[in-house]
Amino acid sequence: MAQATKGTGDKSTGDGAGEKALPYRVLARKYRPTDFTTLVGQEAMVRTLRNAIATGRIAHAFMLTGVRGVGKTTTARIIARALNCVGADGKGGPTVDPCGVCDNCKAITEDRHVDVIEMDAASRTGIDDVRELIEGVRYRPVSARYKVYIIDEVHMLSEKAFNALLKTLEEPPPHVKFLFATTEIRKVPVTVLSRCQRFDLKRVPQDVLVEHFGKISATEKVEISPEALALIARAADGSVRDGLSMLDQAIAHGSGVVDAAQVRDMLGLADRSRVLELFEKTMRGDAPAVVASLGEMHDSGADPVVVLQDLLELTHWVTRLKVAPEAAAGSADSERAQGLAMAAKLSMASLTRAWTLLMKGLQETLSAPSPLRAAEMTLIRLCYVSDLPSPGDVIKSLQNGAAAGAGAGTSSSPAPRGGGGGAAVRLAPQPAQAVGQPAEALPAPKNFTEVVALFETKREARLVNYLMHHVHEVRCEPGLIEFRPEPQAPPDLASRLSECLSRWTGRRWIASVSSDAGKPTLTAQKASKADDLRSQAGVNPLVQAILKTFPGAKLEAVRRKGDQTSLVSGLAGPSGEEPPLPDEYPADDDIPESEF
């Protein structure tokens, strides 16, 4: 467990009358761990390193990765001390517990040891910097047991720099150790990773941070409430350094006495109870109350982005309570009771919908010119959809309404409580089918044009295109189609026609390819009929008079009165003659692939 009082700290306040005050050091530096016992929240890694050093199985290169502030560079320095410690008597070897009093330990702790070289890859990214490093590798250490190279943010090195480092990294001299630290492990080449022993430093749990910050506050003689510590630990998001920086700021803000209200004011957080209240109003669809509450929170200093983040966290917490009620352990009694009540009242569909909308709204708020307005629109949107029924409930309500017939005339699902918007959609029941009423007749196309019309009715646009432009009818009667396809038609067109027609008509259909010439395509037939109509219209006295009145005019298209542009409507007239074809139908390239 963390030892808050052990570190590199010094007395910066000078309590004694004759003691000279030293320059102030921020808490993140003052309480930086100096050995494995003071490293916070990384027990698994510490255990592995302890065993490796104790057994002498020390790798020549270590890769330390994790989010900012979890102790990557600090761990590298501790390893450097552990490898180079000679003990208080100057005769010791590598140890898991550096003495802290020998010259090597002191010099490494104070960042002044000549054999421990730290390099910031963010500012020294080029191949020349790595060449300089490689040149120094061949020289033995001046005073230490090992020459240790600590490269921070190693992922920032250029590709050429990485390549130059590979050979040395694979076969370094026995007196050299490499310690790499990075927050972007995916940007490190695999060739480098394969030559290192990798350690993933995890985010420090919130309860560990609370305990660690509490011990530091006691050492600093600062009165801080448990709730304030919890707020700082939660805002730290697993980073010890970030949390200590916020604790430092809170101590300065509160002049030695820190409470939750001061921390909320400092971080721009909304009160937890007010966030719970806002969440409840939103989920019951009370849009006016939500807008008023958000405005009050904003006026009191809450950041709209942080409010949405708190609502997201609350949505996740309530969802966890719904699937695992024991997750409420550790929360305040009133908060736990309120959360369990909301989890019991809200459906999983409404919670997942709230999560999706809040995530989208958070992104909009981050990029909006007015975060408050964007947050308001997000919550108003959530108010009006929070109580919408799920698709399954809609289907059930339709089925129940049909079963009820013309009885009650209301939907089986309860009326939504949303603020009068989209959540108030009510599904009208469908009238029940009368007893003895025959079922809807299945389609029974009798000729080729009726077959194509059926495919258009079923919205098979791609197949209709082939049938219109690239198929020559040879023979067509109920249950049988013979055709000659053009090269543009797909090779499995016959099987697809058979399968679709058999499924839609309820009878077996056979579609086969023929070598006979067959009739012109439907598109060619349409063009031929259009030419005939233009010829007939061209001799009409009225048309001739119009063309004479408007020199240069052309007769582009002719339609008979009552003709339809849809292939479905009016295809087979009562007289059985060929129906008029549509004036236009999309060509191959005009049909979106999603309709195929």
Q: Is 45 left (phi over 0), alpha (psi -120 to 50) or beta?
A: alpha
Task: Look at residue 394 and tell me whether its pLDDT is greater than 90.
Answer: no
pTM, to two decimals: 0.54
Percentage with pLDDT > 70 across the chain: 78
| Burial degree of 25 (CB within 10 A; 0-12, 13-18, 19+) | middle
| CATH match for 42-200 among 1.10.3720.10, 3.40.50.300, 3.30.70.3270, 3.10.50.40 | 3.40.50.300
Tell me the three state secondary structure of residue 153. Answer: coil
Reported as a single tens digit per residue, the pLDDT across 96-146 is 888 888 888 888 888 888 999 898 888 888 888 888 888 888 889 888 889
- 141 CB contacts (<8 Å, ≥6 apart)? 115, 147, 175
As a whole number of angstroms, the distance between CA 125 and CA 135 comes to 16
pLDDT bracket for residue 148 (50, 70, 90):
very high
pLDDT at 410: 42
Fold equal for 42-200 and 272-385 = no
pLDDT at 291: 92
Task: Look at residue 426 and tell me whether its pLDDT is greater than 60.
Answer: no
Reported as a single tens digit per residue, the pLDDT across 226-272 is 888 888 888 888 889 988 998 888 888 777 788 888 887 787 666 67
Instruction: Identify the CATH class of 272-385.
Output: mainly alpha
530 vs 492: which has the higher pLDDT: 492
Average pLDDT over residues 381-393: 74
Q: Within 470-521, where are the H helices?
A: 493-505
Sequence ranges of the domains in the chain: 42-200, 206-267, 272-385, 442-596
Task: Look at residue 21 and tell me whether its pLDDT is greater than 80.
Answer: no
235 to each of 9, 246, 257, how far by Cα in Å?
Answer: 24, 9, 19
Q: How many CB atoms lie within 10 A of CB 360?
A: 12
CA dihedral over 112, 113, 114, 116, signed as positive or negative: negative
pLDDT at 11: 42
Reported as a single tens digit per residue, the pLDDT across 294-323 is 988 888 778 899 889 989 988 998 898 888
Percentage with pLDDT > 90 across the chain: 10
Contacts of 294-299 with CB under 8 Å at 24 or more apart are 294/372, 294/375, 294/376, 294/379, 295/372, 297/270, 298/372
- CA nearest to 39, candidates 297, 240, 228, 200: 240
Q: At the topology level of CATH, where does 206-267 sit?
A: Helicase, Ruva Protein; domain 3 (1.10.8)
pLDDT bracket for residue 171 (50, 70, 90):
confident
Task: Give the start-end residues of each E strand in 242-293.
Answer: 257-258
- 230 CB contacts (<8 Å, ≥6 apart)? 206, 210
CA–chain centroid gap for 289, Å, is 30
pLDDT bracket for residue 432 (50, 70, 90):
very low
Task: Look at residue 572 and tell me whether its pLDDT is greater than 50.
Answer: no
Tell me what the pLDDT averaged over the chain comes to.
78
Reported as a single tens digit per residue, the pLDDT across 396-419 is 666 665 444 444 444 444 444 444
474 to each of 53, 302, 488, how far by Cα in Å?
Answer: 86, 76, 18
501 to each of 433, 444, 451, 506, how far by Cα in Å?
Answer: 27, 9, 8, 8
Cα-Cα-Cα-Cα dihedral of 406, 412, 418, 421, to 10°?
-30
Q: How many CB atoms lie within 10 A of CB 532?
A: 11
Reported as a single tens digit per residue, the pLDDT across 273-284 is 788 888 989 988
Q: What single DSSP character describes residue 204?
A: P
Q: Angle at the Cα of 386 (from 348 to 273), degrees rounded to 5?
A: 85
Instruction: Report whether 151 contacts 137 (CB < 8 A).
Output: no
Reported as a single tens digit per residue, the pLDDT across 357-377 is 999 999 999 998 999 999 999
